[in-house]
Amino acid sequence: MEVVIDGIEYVPKEQKEEPRQIDWSKVASHVPVRVWDCDEDNKDMGFLNNYRPGNVSPFLLLFGAAWRHADLLTDLWVPHISDECPLPDGVMVEAVLRYGGEISRPAKLIRWSFTGTGGDIIRFRVTGLAEGWRW
């Protein structure tokens, strides 16, 4: 944002960008989520069945109701059951490999495909969001 004072333009050295919204449509159906409406004391947990952006309550749980807000459950181990990345850009994870090693990094920087080697991911957990991202 530019500011003009006495005919002189002042531009801030750094403009803070708004955090980017994760793409909820990229969350796999076996990844647990926490949902709530306006009252944060009334939360539920489950699996995201559908994400409907633009709706008042865009988060629809499997076998459940629609909710206004959601975040991914952190520190809960989830088995890796597919050949694809189960999470969208901006999500940080810790993953356990078949040979017992662990890696921590953004989900999009991990090889999620199965190769039948010790480097295959067998389980993961969400540890939070990368800088500049929001639920």
What is residue 108's predicted lDDT score, i.e. its pLDDT? 95
Residue recorded with tokens 């993953």: 95
Burial class (CB in 10 A: 0-12, 13-18, 19+), 73: middle
Both 52 and 83 in a single domain?
no
Model confidence over 108-135: pLDDT tens digits? 999 999 999 999 999 999 999 999 999 9
Q: Identify the domain containing residue 112 by its residue range.
A: 74-135
Model confidence over 38-85: pLDDT tens digits? 877 788 999 999 999 999 999 999 887 899 999 999 999 999 999 999
The number of domains in the chain is 2
Both 50 and 80 in a single domain?
no
